[in-house]
Structure 1
Amino acid sequence: MRILVLFLFLAFQPLVFGQKPCQYTTNVTDSLGTLKETKSCLVYEKVFGNTAQLIFLSLISNDGMPVLHLQVIQKSNDFISPKCIDKNSRIYFQLSNGKIFTLANSSENECGSLVYNDTEKLNNRLLNAYFLFLKDDYQDFKKFPVTMMRIKYDSESIDYILPKELHAEKVEGVFEPEDFFINNYPCIEN
């Protein structure tokens, strides 16, 4: 009997401890090809007084080509200086194994657009950008957590330490920024 229980435990262990189910905001296949985008993950949140900055990431597969979607949201009662990207902008990810991966901006010059929210009486600035993977070896992204992210904007570079778990104040939910690629990269491979 013990052998049967042990066998069943070992047989179903990959199902119990395996990858989380994929969640997509877009999953379309038509005559033009296949487009998949994973659900956005909050990887950084800073709230100080009436000012907040949120950074979301999602992965896109455009006919098998991986793309990272970056969304930076800034909120404040005061004027918000825009964050801009240009052709030289990059995102660097340092993994827990020490490797650093660079992603290149695929968008044109872009600055966060300013939108006033009447309900909250806040200025909001929204920046959307798309970054391309420069290396073909993505295996480390699927195995090792991300410890740090550096975004090179047009006029400055900012480092962000990614926590293991993030209990968000401004959006509902608990996020796992460190495991963003581990949880999402397999979803865009197929």
Structure 2
Amino acid sequence: MKFSLMLLSLFVSVVSLAQKKDCDIDYVIENDSTRFTKTNDYLFVERSYKPALESVYIALVKSEETAYVQLQFLQKDALFIPTTCVDAKSLITFQLLDGTIVNLRHAQDDYCNSLSFDPEQQANIRILSTYFQIEKDDIAKLKKSPVSVMRLRFSTAVFTYEVVEKLASKSVDKTYFPTRYFIENIACVE
């Protein structure tokens, strides 16, 4: 009887491990007091209109017991690009297909992006990279329904994007499926 229970227990463990999603991990930093895990950057939104380009990349991060979305907001244009800043009131708002609204609060100090110039493409570039905290209740919501709209509320501007089911990127020549990103990847930071 003990052997049967042990065999059943082993089988259940193997099946549950086999069902866990393989996470696309960029890196893990681990030492005596900390564990920090980050998934690869994922193109969530891309707006391309000559000569401008706006891209939003996200990654999931887990530091200790807290989950975050790392946001990289890239703007590229031949014309001047205004500064984009984040502060304590900044939010990412996801509207899910089932009507649920999920707000993620900015988790770092106030910050503004800086302007750089690409002489090869004769374009101005601004990149804002920052973190937004995912509350435990929000993890459950993001697992249940695809994303339909994303709103970035910065201290200096608001950007609203319809999130498409299939995104064939022109800038990185790759296809992404952003509406299902959280459903398929949130387990990586649970």
Q: TM-score range by the shorter chain?
A: 0.7 to 0.9
Structure 2 runs not aligned, ≥5 long: 1-14
Matches within 5 A, 1:25-174: 25-174=26-175
SS of 1:138's partner is helix
- Partner deviation per Cα, 1:88-123 (whole Å, 9 max, x = no partner): 111111111111111111122212211112332221
CA distance in 1, matches of 2:180, 2:142: 9
Residue 59 of structure 1 contacts residue 188 of structure 1 at CA under 8 Å; is this kept in 2? yes
RMSD in angstroms over aligned alpha carbons?
1.9
Residue 73 of structure 2 contacts residue 129 of structure 2 at CA under 8 Å; is this kept in 1? yes
SS of 2:184's partner is helix
User: Which of 23-32 and 161-170 deviates more?
Assistant: 23-32
CA displacement at 1:29 relative to structure 2? 2.2
Identity in percent: 28
CA distance in 2, matches of 1:38, 1:99: 25
In structure 1, give the amino acid aligned to 2:126.
R
User: Which of 130-139 and 59-68 deviates more?
Assistant: 130-139
Residue 37 of structure 2 contacts residue 61 of structure 2 at CA under 8 Å; is this kept in 1? yes
Q: Aligned in 2, Cα 1:120/1:39: closer, same or farther, shift over 3 Å?
A: same
Residue 67 of structure 2 contacts residue 135 of structure 2 at CA under 8 Å; is this kept in 1? no
CA distance in 2, matches of 1:105, 1:67: 9
CA distance in 2, matches of 1:76, 1:157: 18
- Partner deviation per Cα, 1:42-91 (whole Å, 9 max, x = no partner): 11111111110100111100012101111000011111112211111111
Structure 1 runs not aligned, ≥5 long: 1-13
SS of 1:21's partner is coil
CA distance in 2, matches of 1:75, 1:61: 29
Residue 19 of structure 1 contacts residue 183 of structure 1 at CA under 8 Å; is this kept in 2? no
User: Which of 175-184 and 109-118 deviates more?
Assistant: 109-118
In structure 2, give the amino acid aligned to 1:128.
S
